[in-house]
Chains A and B, each alone.
Chain A
Amino acid sequence: MAAPMWLLVSRSAASAIGNTHRRIATTAACCKVQAGRYKITLKQNKPLTYEQAHPPFQIGVCKSWNSWNTSNLCDAPRASDTLYEDMFIRKFMAGTWHGIFVSEVIIKRRHNAVYVSGVVQRRLHARKLYFLVGYTEEILARFLKCIVKVEVQSVGDRRDVVFKYI
């Protein structure tokens, strides 16, 4: 019997890194959908935001999208570019606004502009946050070659955005 296509791929991938053993799991657990879901902790003290508390199938029902663009509509261009840029923006925000964002980074594309928004905590002086706003807007504009706007709202403490503990 000929091996299914994915098996061949994985075999070649395995041989590429010099591993001769193939490991195939055939249990039901492997098919479990896990993305965007959080495990309950023993002490039930893991904080989740509203966004995290809802699994992905609730998108468009209880919560909303993190990236707003039209690249994935029928015949729309730049689907992969947009995804790549969004990942770039998210990584940039995580590094530049280190530990300041307490929500997901929401990226909206309207006309020729990119709006990066989210909730920040008041850990730094407002003056320093304004510096970061100016810096982020300008440097992302230079990377993405379009207008970038940062729109942030603030909360006093990280706990203010906790929706529940699991």
Chain B
Amino acid sequence: MAASMCSKLKLACKWKKSKPSLHILRLCTQHLCSANEEVAEHSQEIVIPDRIERGPTDILRALASTVARDQTAAHYKYHDDPFFIPTSNIAKRSYALSKESGRKAAHWISNQYPELFEGINPADPQIPVLMPDNPKYKHEGATEEAVLERLDYGKPLVAYQTYQDCLAAGVKLSADARDRLLAILCYYNSQDPPLTEFIEENWYKRARERGVRKSWKDQGPADQLFQDMGDERTCTSYKLIIRGMVKYYQVEKAYALFREMQDKGFEVDLSTYNAILSIANFLREGNEQKLQLAKDLMLQMETQDIRPDLTTINAVLELLSKFGNWKLARGQSLSVLAEMKRLGIEPSLGSYYFVLMTWCKDKGPISTILHDIMKHIDNKDLTIRHLSDLNFFVAAMDVCHSHLCDMRLAYRVHRLVHRGNNILLLGDSFKQSTYYMHFFRLLCATESVEKLFEYYEDLVPNVYTPEPSVMMDVIRNLDANSALEHLPRVWSDMIMFDMTQREMLLTELLHVMGREKLDDTQLMERFGFIAWDIKTRIDAKLSDRTYKSPTQWTGEMVGDVIVVCLRAAMFEQAWEMLEALERQEHNILGFPSERVMQELVEACIEHADSRRAVKCITVSSEIGYPETPNFARQVACKLKLTDSERAQMIDIVGSDALESASV
């Protein structure tokens, strides 16, 4: 019995490619005891898999992969306390940067007064990152060891100083040591390396601060060192200085040195070719010439039998994407991709980013290439392979929104971003908010309120705080779908996001609230409270002299506040608004519309307040509305006026209008 079981199991294993089903496993364990010896006979085929090499953090990674980002909690750099959790974009930024600024202050103190930190609890062995930044060097004086030691401590400028001492003392450094010094100087552009522990600053740095501009230090230590080398320049020194110059956009000199290097007969390597390819855009005028240069460089590579890699291909694709609206570029970019496939190089997100940039130009024809790209990368766990990879998702969402206006495609991109660790490829804070801005604006433009709020609840405010333009779109979406019951929620979010002084937003919100009278009296009352809240907030900032650019009232806004207050049965507040309009005639631009005046007159009649009714008619005639005599007639019909009020009315609209009413 047991033997037959075992043979069955083996059969099953064969069929299922060594994946025995649970059922068979269970049967097997039942008979395992009795069949032990026979199993031993038949089980020579069991193969123990090779040991998989694990890194020290693999278990942590595996554990982390079981937990998703909690969208309802703030980022872990903020303290989990209502007072410490930021909601507006400006608070997020200032809190994170303040914390880092505190750490910087501590750094400064530690470096300024190193003696204070040595007495207590000296660590053994020393922990360099927790020590004041004044390393005790073993080697002193002008020697090669001293230069290299200072390099190891991450002090290129001190090392350069020691190198100069060596020069003065007539000590000659070996070629290898000089190349090492040159490498560090080139890599950091003859500056001390930036502190890597301050990550927030990098995260919040504006994209344009890192933009394309020449920042190479001409005649700086790197240049000087390279000149000092004279005839002893090695192939490596050329490669190093060219790559350094390319990194900091000293393009002309880099290319000149590249030619010099070739003339001297040094062998150019892959990364140097890649560097020169990446600046081909600046070396020639005109698209044809630029492309020709790139082709020449690649032909040279071929003659030297150098296989291109991802960086090479991305450099070419980047060049093609810079060509403006040039038809040839699109075809070329596809053939580069095909070439890539032939060479067996898997395109990275950056490659697709450049293809997108080539095909989907602002003023160019509509292209659906993103659909094809998505076919290739959908449902994949992506990793960063090239610096430009970080641009892809932002660009893809931008294309979905402004180029194609395709919500279904946007969902696909969004799903891909939120798969596994792909979100790490979304880039810094600026890119992230741009991505979500496009996503939400597209949602507002195409989706229903329910769908919009599904994503809104999920991502706002901890993952993303909407910009004013997005809030504007949300309000318009609510208006278009006549879902005004969500407006109070939007207003409370606007307060949280610190948008209570955005004139455009306030105008739009008041306008939507004052558009028409709804049957829902409770909602109308809440609108009244919101309008009054807006009014108090604007007035508070107007009277606060320290506030630089307060929102200015416009006649339209005043009118909307009046109307909303009237509908919320807040007659006194509405009247206060009208009086404010009269008081600050010179500060308020424009007037309330005729419709507003009509509603106000009707409200006065309803409250049987003849004094105020006459006042309304005065204001209305001062503005010059043609309907004023009509208002006067209504008032005269429905209210008892005193003689002086009647005289006032006659003054304004003339006796004819009133008499026709009394007849």
Residues in chain A within 8 A of chain B (CB atoms): 81, 85, 88, 122, 126-139, 141-146, 151-154
Contact = CB atoms under 8 A, between A and B. Distances in A.
A156 B105 CA distance: 28
Nearest to A121: B83
B110 A134 contact: no
B455 interface: no
B117 A131 contact: no
Nearest to B83: A154
A138 B121 contact: no
B122 A129 contact: no
B52 interface: no
A154 B83 CA distance: 7
Given A127-B95, A139-B109, A139-B110, A154 B84 contact: yes
B84 A145 contact: no
Contacts of B127: 145
Contacts of A143: 117, 120-121
Contacts of B132: 142
Contacts of A141: 130
Nearest to B101: A131
Given A126-B83, A131-B99, 17 more contacts: A81-B121, A88-B120, A122-B83, A127-B95, A130-B84, A130-B98, A134-B104, A135-B103, A138-B106, A139-B106, A139-B109, A142-B106, A142-B110, A142-B130, A143-B121, A145-B123, A154-B82
Nearest to A144: B121
B102 A130 contact: yes
Contact of A133 (B82, B102, B123, B131): B102
A129 B106 CA distance: 15
A38 B148 CA distance: 63
B-side interface mostly: helix
A129 B120 contact: no
A142 B108 CA distance: 12
6 contacts: A127-B98, A131-B101, A134-B103, A135-B103, A152-B84, A154-B84
Given A145-B123, A145-B127, A134 B106 contact: yes
Contacts of B98: 127-128, 130-131, 134
B100 interface: yes
A38 B99 CA distance: 37
A145 B83 contact: no
Contacts of A81: 121
B84 A126 contact: yes
A144 B120 CA distance: 7
Contacts of A88: 120
A138 B103 contact: yes
A132 B83 CA distance: 15
Contacts of B120: 85, 88, 143-144
Nearest first, the 5 A-B pairs at minimum CB distance are A134-B102, A138-B106, A135-B102, A145-B123, A134-B99
Contact of B81 (A85, A145, A154): A154
B289 interface: no
Nearest to B99: A134
Contacts of B100: 134
A41 to B, nearest CB: 32
Given A131-B98, A134-B103, A138-B106, A145 B122 contact: yes
Contacts of A151: 79
B418 interface: no
B94 interface: yes
B107 interface: yes
Nearest to A133: B99
Contact of A153 (B81, B95, B105, B110): B81
A138 B84 contact: no
Contacts of A137: 102-103, 106
A136 to B, nearest CB: 7
A141 B132 CA distance: 12
B84 A136 contact: no
Interface string B89-101: 0010011101111
B102 A85 contact: no
Contact of B130 (A127, A135, A145): A145
A126 B121 contact: no
A126 B85 CA distance: 9
B124 to A, nearest CB: 9
A145 B121 contact: yes
A85 B122 CA distance: 12
Contacts of B131: 142
Interface in B422-459: none
A61 B663 CA distance: 91
Contacts of B99: 130-131, 133-134
B101 A134 contact: yes
A88 B105 CA distance: 20
A165 B374 CA distance: 68
Interface in B65-94: 79, 81-84, 86, 91, 94
Nearest to B95: A130
Interface in B260-303: none
A129 B103 contact: no
Nearest to B84: A126
A151 B122 CA distance: 25
B62 to A, nearest CB: 20
